[in-house]
């Protein structure tokens, strides 16, 4: 078997191993699913009446795309925590002793976490429908929104793959990811319109890739509101393109870095 088919075959085995692990430790999946439900209910019922959406839109429809974006990004941290745990337990060294592709561990790990995000999005979608969220575009546009969210999360998972190979334990990954992702997802248009943010924070929010993937999702779901105005910055005028550019940049930078670090870290 040639190198590329061998890599995908080995990656599929690693991905299956990670999915079986979730089945045996269901607590991780349960708490991953409960967190976005809590955010949806909290913002929809507690803060929803106090936040005005530009263009007269429905805040609950405005909210769901932001929750989607935040949750799939947090879901990408599972990659880092899983790799850090495998490093800590010596499993990575065991993988290295097997006749398998060096890329398989990372590709399989990031690939299996797509399944986690798919399950999370399904649960969030059902919760969103319960609180009043609706998809007002075609099926193809809605599927494009979900695909874009998963693609962006996949790119972010490679960032945390590198983090997981650099830090000494899963706990450090969790703490480090919280310190980075929390401000990244809140200094954006995820929960409040970026127009209401002051000065520098507004500029950061407008060019934040999280704002772009959220804006793109709202457009594809038809959740912008009937009287919504066109944003005055390029990143939010072309959110799908801007998001895809970030995906390409992140993968181009972090796939090689994570692969190189995997070889170094596993050889210690």
The answer to whether 210 and 73 have CB atoms below 8 angstroms apart is yes
Question: Which of the residue ranges 40-54, 125-139, 219-233 would you say has the lowest mean pLDDT?
Answer: 40-54
pLDDT at 1 over 60: no
Using CA atoms, how far apart are residues 215 and 224, in angstroms rounded to an integer? 8
pLDDT at 268 over 70: no
Distance of CA 227 to the CA centre of its chain: 29
pLDDT at 152 over 90: yes
Using CA atoms, how far apart are residues 122 and 128, in angstroms rounded to an integer? 10
pLDDT tens-digit series, residues 64-81: 999 999 988 988 888 888
Using CA atoms, how far apart are residues 85 and 17, in angstroms rounded to an integer? 14
Q: What's the rounded mean pLDDT across residues 105-127?
A: 88
Question: Which of the residue ranges 110-114, 158-162, 222-226 would you say has the lowest mean pLDDT?
Answer: 222-226
Nearest to 14 by CA among 88, 85, 110, 97: 110
Q: What's the rounded mean pLDDT across residues 211-223?
A: 94
The residue ranking higher by pLDDT, 238 or 104, is: 238
Tell me what pLDDT residue 267 has.
46
In order of 39, 92, 136, 225, the CA distances from 221 in angstroms are 20, 41, 6, 11
pLDDT at 149 over 90: yes
Judged by DSSP in three states, 57 sits in coil
Q: What's the rounded mean pLDDT across residues 93-100?
A: 76
Highest mean pLDDT among 95-104, 117-126, 213-222: 213-222
Using CA atoms, how far apart are residues 13 and 8, in angstroms rounded to an integer? 9
Query: Cβ atoms within 10 A of the Cβ of 25, count?
Result: 10
Using CA atoms, how far apart are residues 212 and 241, in angstroms rounded to an integer? 9
Using CA atoms, how far apart are residues 133 and 60, in angstroms rounded to an integer? 6
**In this structure, what token pair is assigned to residue 117?**
């995000």
pLDDT tens-digit series, residues 6-55: 777 878 878 777 777 777 666 666 767 777 788 888 888 877 766 777 76
Tell me what pLDDT residue 178 has.
81
List phi, psi (to 5°) of 167: -95, 160
List phi, psi (to 5°) of 2: -70, 175
Using CA atoms, how far apart are residues 264 and 255, in angstroms rounded to an integer? 14
Question: Which of the residue ranges 8-12, 141-145, 179-183 would you say has the lowest mean pLDDT?
Answer: 8-12
């Amino acid at each position: 078997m040639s190198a590329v088919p061998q890599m995908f075959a080995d990656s599929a085995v690693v991905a299956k191993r990670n999915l079986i692990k979730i089945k045996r430790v269901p607590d991780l999946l349960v708490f991953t699913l409960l967190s976005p439900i809590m955010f949806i209910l909290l913002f929809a019922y507690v803060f929803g009446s106090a936040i005005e959406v530009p263009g007269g839109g429905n805040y609950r429809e405005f909210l769901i795309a932001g929750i989607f974006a935040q949750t799939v990004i947090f879901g990408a941290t599972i990659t880092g925590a899983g790799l850090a745990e495998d490093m800590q337990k010596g499993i990575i060294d065991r993988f290295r002793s097997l006749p398998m592709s060096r890329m398989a561990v990372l590709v399989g790990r990031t690939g299996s976490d797509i399944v986690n995000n798919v399950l999370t999005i399904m649960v969030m979608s059902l919760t969103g429908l319960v609180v009043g969220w609706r998809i007002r575009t075609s099926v193809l546009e809605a599927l494009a929104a979900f695909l874009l969210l998963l693609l962006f999360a996949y790119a972010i998972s490679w960032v945390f793959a590198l983090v997981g190979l650099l830090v000494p334990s899963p706990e450090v990954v969790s703490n480090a990811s919280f310190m980075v992702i929390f401000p990244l997802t809140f200094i954006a248009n995820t929960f409040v319109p970026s127009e209401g943010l002051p000065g520098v924070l507004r500029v950061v929010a407008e060019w934040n890739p999280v704002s772009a993937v959220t804006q793109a999702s709202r457009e594809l779901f038809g959740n912008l509101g009937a009287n919504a105005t066109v944003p005055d910055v390029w990143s939010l005028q072309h959110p799908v393109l801007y998001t895809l550019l970030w995906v390409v940049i992140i993968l181009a930078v972090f796939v090689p870095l994570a692969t190189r670090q995997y070889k170094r870290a596993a050889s210690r």
